[in-house]
A and B are shown apart, each in its own frame.
Chain A
């Protein structure tokens, strides 16, 4: 996972007509639109999983083990005769869930800590910053592997592990943004008229840090999906018989020669959905950037 925050837009005062302007810019950005379509496609697929007329993702057929794609099984069958298409569709749920939930965890822990740290400064800031640095110093994946091993291999635990490992990114971002907002004139004057801390944070700081958090969040979903796939690939994520793309790859790597389709589709799906989130995140950043290019 990237521990380097991408260049993010500078904070700005919330403009009245901002929303429509953002949407206009976003719509004009073809790459972002493509990203949005990719993400939407996988979300819809994941939502429709229960009603699509396909075999169940855990239905086995001993007579059809590792059969190449055919009319009955458009994506072929896997190592114990399950329909790969069905497992792909159900696996989309695991991947998307892993991306969204782990980033949710990271945001819920990281943003309040970051805002507090940037707002209060002093000792709070110093201690939060030291912890953040210490966490960032352990390579992300190693941290996630150790956490996932500690919690035990399962999808839920993988999400927690990835979420916790991503917390420092959001602490850093929220802290930096808060500190930047605090120096703005209008915040200074609001402070001068004696607005309470809560009011200051909710009225001025939070609205201003939402756009960069949204951008970083979207981009981190992309990396979190890869991280889930990596953990599953190491056997620490989704556990059988439930499917996830990473665990499908973990099995598929043993059958590269005999059944390349088993590796091809889940890998391609991860690639596409991650690409989608990255394009979407980039598009959001450009659209939310107050500087007009």
Chain B
């Protein structure tokens, strides 16, 4: 731990050993964050940093309920076309600018209109923003949008200082100014991001560290070694295979939560010429592939049983999971029968692209071995992620092993993938009925109606299988045993409210 070293140094320099130390929390991240601008950010680790740096209009609970953050209350009109929010009083941004309805309006405007904004698609439903009074804001929508609150609980709802945004433009990312519990101090790319406690934060009492330092350490082994050596206090995404050893270590503890995302094989069914194979053209071949895979074995072999096997866009524990289609048991005979029925009694050859990282390759090798026994001969084509993504979007693939980090609202896990012309519908899937169901679920604010629509869509999708889901990652945090009050959230973020560290 840095503190111990500092202490040793303090002693060495003859300073009083009892001096009060500023407490620093050092968090190891798997990657370096990208641009530190909520409107431009696109990485998962960037969101983790934002969670300490920038407050959002609303937040979520571990059970994915929406709760107040900068908005203290809200009200939907009966037709679902206007959303009125009451804003928190006495909030200031890190640069002293006051938070009010004008600031919210400026933020929504920036998210929607900054050319570089990655948030546009998340806020398309908002057509008007009205400053009702200093502390009240009203959004007018094009059509009812069930996903809006979930969007406002993430980057699209993060409030940055309008003064700083206007002054620095795109350079905002180099010196972000928000209203979160910690303010930006410095960033050295690929090395560290340092934040310090913001004394004027509206809920400052809940935050106990003087500084928070985020350190990107991509190698899971090295990240854990740093935690063990005391150079980190906490890390995210502990490797599933390290869980047992960390649990056996009295100095450390773990926390975990099943993620909202999934890992799957996306199949090219209608995205260019590469869709014209048995796998892309015949749903029975895809069904055979799905049933040839033992998802529990993947989980056991690759993740020591820590992750969650899955076969839908939502984990089996989610309220949106359709229990009529449980995770299938492996059935080689059924797979062979399906292949024979499709006219491929001698088996089929398919190529699956996978990112060249060891864990995903391990997953695909397990799938390859299992599918091979059912007559589906997979050749694995490893690509760098940048190439994989470009090929996938261009349709230059038969099947692609990729994942999705997951969204709070179910729409985020399925709509853009399965609707005709959807933004990330790389498989080129198109089914009018599915389109109608998913579009309908989007504009309804009635949970029961939405669930019915998603279930009905899954009746079709489980037959067509444009995406063969494999498993749901579980977020695993490892930390010093002295850390108290940490809550695991299914979105994988690190919320520091109430977290303390006793050395």
Q: Which residues of A contact B (CB under 8 A)?
A: 58, 60, 62, 65, 79-81, 149, 152-154, 235-236, 239-241, 250-251, 253-258
Contact A236 B221 (CB under 8 A): no
Q: Can you give 26 A-B contacts (C-beta < 8 A)?
A: A60-B366, A60-B369, A65-B300, A79-B362, A80-B302, A80-B365, A80-B366, A80-B369, A152-B383, A152-B387, A153-B356, A154-B382, A235-B382, A236-B384, A239-B356, A239-B380, A240-B362, A240-B365, A240-B380, A240-B382, A251-B358, A251-B361, A253-B219, A253-B221, A257-B221, A258-B241
Contact A240 B361 (CB under 8 A): yes
Residue of A nearest to B220 (CB): A254
Contact A241 B365 (CB under 8 A): yes
**CB of B239 closer than 8 Å to a CB of A:** yes
Given the interface contacts A79-B362, A80-B366, does A149 sit within 8 Å of B221 by beta carbon? Answer: no
Neighbouring B residues of A65 by C-beta, 8 Å: 300-301
Neighbouring A residues of B3 by C-beta, 8 Å: none
A79 to B302, CA, bound (A): 7
> Residue among A58, A235, A253 with the most chain B CB within 10 A?
A235
Q: Mark B350-394, 1 if CB is under 8 A from A, else 0.
A: 000000111101101110110000000000111110010000000
Contact A236 B356 (CB under 8 A): yes
Contact B241 A255 (CB under 8 A): yes
Number of B positions contacting A (CB below 8 A)? 28
Contact A153 B362 (CB under 8 A): no
Contact A250 B301 (CB under 8 A): no
Contact B239 A254 (CB under 8 A): yes
Neighbouring A residues of B301 by C-beta, 8 Å: 62, 65, 79-81
**CB of B502 closer than 8 Å to a CB of A:** no
A60 to B369, CA, bound (A): 7
Instruction: Kindly list 11 other residue pairs between chains A and B, CB separation below 8 angstroms, not including A153-B383, A235-B357.
Output: A80-B301, A153-B382, A239-B356, A239-B361, A241-B368, A251-B362, A254-B220, A254-B241, A254-B358, A257-B242, A257-B245
A236 to B301, CA, bound (A): 24
A235 to B360, CA, bound (A): 12
Q: Tell me the total A-B contact number using a CB cutoff of 8 A.
A: 69
**CB of B297 closer than 8 Å to a CB of A:** yes
Q: Which residues of B contact A (CB under 8 A)?
A: 219-221, 239, 241-242, 245, 297, 300-302, 356-359, 361-362, 364-366, 368-369, 380-384, 387
Contact A153 B384 (CB under 8 A): yes
> Residue among A58, A79, A250, A255 with the most chain B CB within 10 A?
A79
> How near does chain B come to A144, taking the closest CB pair, in angstroms?
14
Neighbouring A residues of B365 by C-beta, 8 Å: 60, 80, 240-241
A79 to B382, CA, bound (A): 18
A253 to B300, CA, bound (A): 19
> How near does chain A come to B238, taking the closest CB pair, in angstroms?
11
Across the A-B interface, give the 7 residue pairs with the lowest CB-CB distance, nearest first: A235-B356, A239-B382, A251-B358, A60-B369, A240-B361, A153-B356, A153-B382
> How near does chain A come to B118, taking the closest CB pair, in angstroms?
25
> How near does chain B come to A246, taking the closest CB pair, in angstroms?
12
Given the interface contacts A239-B356, A254-B241, A256-B221, does A149 sit within 8 Å of B384 by beta carbon? Answer: yes
> How near does chain A come to B253, taking the closest CB pair, in angstroms?
17
> How near does chain A come to B73, taking the closest CB pair, in angstroms?
47
A239 to B361, CA, bound (A): 9
A81 to B357, CA, bound (A): 19
> How near does chain B come to A97, taking the closest CB pair, in angstroms?
18
